[in-house]
Amino acid sequence: MLARAVAEGRLHDSVAAFPSVTPVCATALATGVRQDRHRIPSINWWDRSRDRYVEYGSSFQASRRLGIARQLADVTYHLNGRHLAPEVRTVYEALDDAGVRTGGTTFLITRGRHRHRLARDRPATRLAASVMRSPLMGPKELFFADLVATQDTPCRSRFGRPGMRDQHAGCVSAHLVAHDLVDFLLLSLPDNDTHSHANGPDAQIESIEAADAEIARVAEAAGGVDRFFAEWALVVASDHSHALVTRRTDPRPAFEPFGITGPGARRTRDRIAYCPASRAAMVYVLDPEQRGSLLPRLVATGRGIEGVELVVWRDPEGRGVISSGADAAEAGELRFRPAAASGRPTDPAPDATGADPGERVVRDERGGTWIVSGALAVVGATVEDDVLRSASHPDPLGRCWSALTCVNSGDLLLSAGEGAEFPDWGGVDHLGGGSHGSLRADDAVGILIHHGLVDQDDPRGRPELAEDAWSIEDATPMILRHFGVGSTPGSP
């Protein structure tokens, strides 16, 4: 299936968000915007409004340390409700509003216009329902693990157990297609991620083959592969990639002298929160009045930690700063800000850039215009014809700016060096396996395949984008254009 889609359609390298972890990237996939707008900053983060950690499932051990019931509520309800910006529409909401029959399988982003009650037909679902009592908002047809099933099928996921999720998604999707219940279907196939975490990126050949078999299963339900490709459009998108983990390095001990608040109630002597995310991490200053005095010391500490390649923060003038860490190939510091005052990189008039002496104006491949100064080599960037590019750290300015300007992000962001991973709150790492999270290309460059779209040659409809500058943000806009839903991605 995938081979035919590539041969007859289009295949692009697609760049993830930063941190390149699933909650951030899956939300970008499902909304068409980055976290500066959708507000999901990482897989583990500090909720300033409630003085607590949010954990979306780094590992079972991390969930247990931070509270399994709370973690289930965060993933099932709060991510799509309280955390995901209400003014940002998901692909489900946009298509539901247009009268498209929507359907989806187990995926972090479920928010649609239809209310679904949780199942209570088996002991496991009754137990979950005792903790999660409210209905879920989702697409018209929704299968979320074994908690929600809008159709009666023999398909079971064993409560979303890794290794069982792809076959469950394929089973229920085949049912929806065979019975002509959907016009749009989000088929989530997450077992490749689990397999790579355990066995390393080279083992993905096996798990991608298994995912491909589930897509073929849906095609057969549509009347066979030929009929499927004739009647359905297909978009295949990875949310990130994987890098091989060869060493475990833990930044937390270096920050402990500042007083790291633990999973329980915040103590008065604690001044920071620490949030690991595989090959990335964030540090929060708990008292805003202490930010000015603490942040320079936190930056200096972060730069000296083994395994940290890049340290990212905003300076007192509001500029983004990307600085070399202990693992950086090039020492230095790069400062940057959008050339326009909108808060999003746009293309201002030449006299509206506001560049100061020592700064230069550059464009990126996604159409953004930036004012930069300092060492471009820190992110492996070069500028040719005023266009900034980096093969080692793709789209570094746009991705870092979205992370820094997300209201829920930390004050300091860390990006791991080659082969390094930061253990989570449960002490879990993926040594010998694959992982992701950093700004590096190994973590961030995935694939986007499209076949059969209404405008196959220019499905994004954005001429300002370079032909080879594709992002996970492009998936939802392409789908909306295909269905003739012309609103801006993420808009209400």
Domains and CATH numbers, the chain: 2-243+437-482 (3.40.720.10), 247-435 (no CATH)
C-alpha Rg value of the chain to the nearest Å: 22
477: left (phi over 0), alpha (psi -120 to 50) or beta: alpha
What predicted TM-score, i.e. pTM, was given to this entire model? 0.93
Which pLDDT belongs to residue 121?
A: 62
CA distance 442 to 472: 15
CA distance 157 to 140: 20
Question: Would you tell me how many other CB atoms lie within 10 Å of the CB of residue 173?
Answer: 28
CA distance 119 to 113: 19
| Terminal-to-terminal C-alpha distance of the chain | 35
From the list 85, 436, 124, the residue with the least C-alpha distance to 280 is 436
Give Cβ neighbours of residue 363 (< 8 Å, ≥ 6 apart): 347, 369, 370, 386, 387, 388
Q: Is 87 exposed, middle or buried (0-12, 13-18, 19+ CB in 10 A)?
A: exposed
Residues 3 and 9 sit within 8 Å (Cβ to Cβ) = no
CA distance 125 to 135: 13
Which pLDDT belongs to residue 269?
A: 79
3-state secondary structure 161-203: CCCCHHHHHHHHHHHHHHCCCCCEEECCCCHHHHHHHHHCHHH
Residue 136 β-bridge partners:
116
Which pLDDT belongs to residue 456?
A: 87
The two three-digit tokens of residue 185, written as one number: 């279907």
With a cut of 50, list the residues of the chain below it in pLDDT: 341-352
CA distance 349 to 122: 62
Which pLDDT belongs to residue 268?
A: 64
CA distance 253 to 264: 19
Which pLDDT belongs to residue 306?
A: 97
